[in-house]
Amino acid sequence: MAKLSKRSVDRAAAGPTLKVVWDDELRGFGVRIHPTGRKVYIVKCRINGQQRFITIGQHGPVTAEHARARAYEILSEAKNGRDPAQELDQGRKAPTMKALGERFLEEHVAVRCKPSTQYEYRRSVELFINPKIGTRRVTDIQRWDIAELHHSLRHIPYQANRTLGVLSKMFNLAEVWGLRPDGSNPCLHVKKFPEEKRERFLSADEYAALGRTLAELEAAKSEPVSVIAAIRLLMLTGCRLGEIMTLKWAYVDWQAKAFRLPDSKTGAKVVLFGDSVAAILHAIPKLPNNQWVITGTKEGARLTDLQPPWRRVRGRAGLDDVRLHDLRHFFASGALFLGEGLPMIGKLLGHTQVQTTARYAHLALDPVRSAVEKVSGFIAKQAAGSSRSNYTRRSRFRIVARTQLPDTLDHNDAAKLAID
């Protein structure tokens, strides 16, 4: 036994077999000397009744002083019931971020998420996460790695924030699966980029222009019937794009005038429709062996992408900045204009939370603003043009009240008589 130092370890000679030289000050700390002359610092400790040998590092790159300090830490952790060896093994066996992404997509996303969400998650993993940190081990990722990745996507802030959300979910599951310690999610405190809510409400003239454009395209047969029908259904129902594009004839309840959707963004729901929507549906030809309302060009298939034809339609109508989702916004604003309250509009749009509908609350002020203009305008005219007549009326009231009325009348009766 000897105190391990640089000098004593350098002088220790190798033998024909593996041997260990133990430190005489820190019990359990030693250096393992191989027949080849390679010297490795180790620590021996007992964890949960089992004796463990933990490698600290090779002599040379690791100094004796550093090895001693690390050995002391390991022995202290072992006394407190922790297993440093297990954590080291876990780090060496930890999967790469690419492997974590594959497990995330297979075991979580494919089971718990809707197809549209699955597509977006897979896109984030394969296009933005794997190229940046896919080869890194899950246990090696630190907060600055996530911050750097997020910052590198600053030119596409919406995608950067979506990718940050996917990473956070992946690391939460890594903790559940025992791949990282609890509470070690490196996405914590990484601030998202500001996002501006894109709300575009069409004016009456713009909506009329869109209606005329659809009628012209329909008459000229320059766009497929399914495209015209899909846009009109979006305009008149307030449905989400995916709800119309995946609408099946089996979901149409003609008697109740309703779409009975088995699944949507908020789960199963019923969308009621009126005569105008019924007329559009009756005008859509039903193709044999095709279950979809909005059909595609292939036999038995649905139309999968409405964006290219929509860009042509909106361009012709002079509405280049209008998105398909903005038609849903206009549906909500139309309901507000007609006097419907936010709770009813929430039901029409299929919102499950009041906060979602509340984004349209500012539109409800328009009728109030109009009433204020009328009342204030009326009062302003009265104040400007009839002050003299009001003075005359007050004078007559004073005369009547003082000279012509019996003493038994109170002031209210007097006022009524004076006004009459």
- Total domains, the chain: 4
pLDDT of residue 339: 62
What does the pLDDT read at residue 52?
82
Compute the C-alpha angle 331/249/233, nearest 5°. Answer: 20
pLDDT at 202: 77
Q: What is the pLDDT of residue 1?
A: 55
CATH number for the domain that contains residue 79: 3.30.160.390
Which pLDDT value is given to residue 383?
80
Tell me, yes or no, whether 186 lies in a domain.
no
Q: What is the pLDDT of residue 87?
A: 60
What pLDDT does residue 225 have?
A: 93
Can you give the pLDDT at residue 89? 59
208 and 351 share one domain: yes
Structure tokens at 60: 């040379």
- Could you give the count of Cα atoms lying within 13 Å of 419 in the half-sphere of its Cβ? 5
Q: Are residues 228 and 256 in the same domain?
A: yes
pLDDT computed for residue 164 by the predictor: 96
Residue 119's domain is classified under what CATH number? 1.10.150
* Residue 187 domain flag: no
**What's the 3-state SS for 318-379?**
CCCCCCCCHHHHHHHHHHHHCCCCHHHHHHHHCCCCHHHHHHHHHHHHHHHHHHHHHHHHHH
Task: Return the CATH number at 254.
Answer: 1.10.443.10
Residue 58 neighbours by CB under 8 Å, 6+ apart:
38, 39, 40, 41
Give the pLDDT confidence score for residue 405 in this predicted structure. 43
Instruction: Mark whether 219 and 281 lie in a shared domain.
Output: yes
- Whether residue 113 lies inside any domain: the answer is yes
Residues of the chain predicted below pLDDT 70: 1, 84-93, 197-199, 266, 334-343, 345-371, 386-420
